Amino acid sequence: MWSEKYRPKKVEGLIGNEEARLVVSTWLAEWKPGGKAALLMGPPGTGKTTLVTLLARANGMNLVDLNASDVRTKEMLGRKLGEAMSTVSLFGERSLIFLDEVDGLAGRSDYGAVEFIKDAVKESQNPIAMAANDPDSDQIKKLASSCVAVRFRPPPPREVEMYLREIARAERVEVSGDALRACVLEAGGDVRQAVNLLQSGGSSGTSHGASYKDRERSVSEAFNGFFGAADKGEAAASLRKVALSPFEKVRELSRSVVRSGLPPEEMARAMEVVSRADLAIGRMVKGGEWRLLRYLDRGLVDGLFPVVKGGTVRYAGQDDLPFPVLSRIWNDSKKVKEVSLRYARRAHTSGSAARSQDLPYVFALCSGKRFREDLERSLGLDADKEMLESYDRFLQKESTR
């Protein structure tokens, strides 16, 4: 989750609510036994939990996190709170007690949680911070009256937008300003949700939905360029532009042929070429004859193009079910992009040429462990263990498509 990965690591990394943050950190710095509790009130995704966590760390304090769901009964609350309240280390280090999402607790008025907490605060040897979503609930109002109460508000849209842009840059995804703003608007001030929208491909409809559509369009244009080509040269050029692995290329071709209006005899001929190509790829990959994959396009141009040319066959992708192939490309597009950039640099070609011409082959070759490991090393995908593992998994998956 990007929202976890990019959870600010320092208080200064948070956006919005500068004054509120200052109030809370001053409260903590000045707190002495007998002092008030702090109550952070505001909608989800404004950084309340993050702030308290970071302040504890910055002050070298142990955080004792008591979530409402952990202390479902008065007895549980009493026991956990009692323990935490009195614990001061030998060296006088204090804990910061945090009752997060206290709405849930306070809401159960039947057990008098609010009174209970108020009493506890007076006796605590450690500062108590609380966070709540709804400042207007009666219970929270009651609690607020005895606390240093601080309101958190949604950060300004511009700041959220800038924050998302930073994350997009770090993740190397290209997102337009409009798309970013759509995420911001849809999230309505909830930063976590804005980040989640960015990660899941944008707010409904817009954002990198566009780039998914672009990919879909480019694959479909390339196939239709092949089917409608004037001659073999044009057919070959179009086929090269199909940014799919050899397996996928052949599978998509066969789907298009099957759904076309070709007369039976021609359809049978076309299907024979396609299934021979499919078998050949399987054999090449299995036998490690990687170089032969390069002849796949030529085989399809010589064998298939003369049968399908003339405009009867069109690419059958779009009106089909959600395209597993393209959605996969989309989901892994970050890795595809990173690999193609690095590959292009090594192979001294342009990134887009690498992606459409070489990469499908390179991916297919990756079913061989030796090849895959060499590639990972030469592209520097082995900088750390986590990176290597995630790329290795990705390349293995790519190779078997």
Site for ligand ADP in 45-74 (CB under 6 A): 45-50
CA dihedral 155, 157, 163, 167 (to 10 degrees): 130
Closer Cβ to ligand ADP, 155 or 228, answer by number: 155
Site for ligand ADP in 111-150 (CB under 6 A): 131
Backbone phi, psi, residue 147, to 5°: -115, 165
**Interface pick for ligand ADP out of 25, 35, 36, 44 (rule CB under 6 A):** 44
Helix, strand, coil distribution of the chain in percent, nearest 5: 60, 5, 30
Q: Least CB distance from residue 163 to ligand ADP, whole Å?
A: 6
Alpha carbon separation from 396 to 104, 315, 376 (Å, rounded): 46, 28, 12
104 is an interface residue for ligand ADP by CB under 6 A: no
Query: Count of residues binding Mg ion (CB under 5 A)?
Result: 1
Name residues whose C-beta falls within 8 Å of residue 313's C-beta, 6 or more positions apart in sequence: 227, 256, 257, 260, 262, 270
- Which DSSP letter does residue 354 get? I
Q: Given the complex with ligand ADP, which of 15 and 258 has the nearer CB atom?
A: 15
Nearer to ligand ADP (CB atom), residue 6 or residue 330: 6
Nearest to residue 180, comparing CAs of 152, 221, 208? 208
* Minimum separation from the CB atom of position 16 to ligand ADP (A): 5
Nearer to ligand ADP among residue 47 and residue 360 (C-beta): 47
229 binds ligand ADP (CB under 6 A): no
- The nearest distance, CB 48 to Mg ion, in angstroms, is 5
Considering beta carbons, is residue 53 or 220 the nearer one to ligand ADP?
A: 53
Facing residues of 40 across strands?
131, 150
What the block records as the tokens of 97 is 């007690």
Which does residue 237 touch among Mg ion, ligand ADP, none (CB within 5 to 8 A, set by kind)?
A: none
The window from 15-23, 45-53, 82-90, 213-221 that contacts Mg ion (CB under 5 A) reads 45-53
| Helix residue ranges, H only, 263-383 | 264-287, 296-303, 305-308, 324-331, 333-347, 351-353, 359-365, 369-378
Between 6 and 315, CB nearer to ligand ADP: 6
CB of 66 to Mg ion, least distance (A): 13
**What stretches of 78-203 adopt beta strand conformation (E)?**
95-99, 128-132, 148-151
Which region, left, alpha or beta, applies to residue 89 given φ > 0 means left and ψ of -120 to 50 means alpha?
A: beta
49 binds Mg ion (CB under 5 A): yes
By CB under 6 A, tell whether 192 contacts ligand ADP.
yes
CA distances from 39 to 85, 151, 376 (A): 17, 8, 50
157 lines the binding site for ligand ADP (CB under 6 A): no
Q: Residue 64 belongs to what H/E stretch?
A: strand 62-65
Chain centroid offset of residue 261 CA: 41
We find the least distance from the C-beta atom of residue 74 to ligand ADP, in angstroms, to be 25
16 binds ligand ADP (CB under 6 A): yes
| 247 bridge partner residues | none
CB nearer to ligand ADP: give 168 or 364: 168
Helix axes 333-347, 324-331, angle to 10 degrees: 70
Question: Shortest approach of ligand ADP to residue 190 CB, angstroms?
Answer: 8
139 makes contact with Mg ion (CB under 5 A): no
* Residue 45 binds which of Mg ion, ligand ADP, none (CB < 5-8 A, kind-dependent): ligand ADP
If one asks whether residue 21 binds ligand ADP (CB under 6 A), the answer comes out as no
CB of residue 297 to ligand ADP, shortest distance in Å: 45
- Residue 14 binds to ligand ADP (criterion: CB under 6 A): yes
Residues near Mg ion (CB under 5 A) = 49
Residues near ligand ADP (CB under 6 A) = 3-4, 6-8, 14-16, 44-50, 131, 155, 163, 191-192, 195
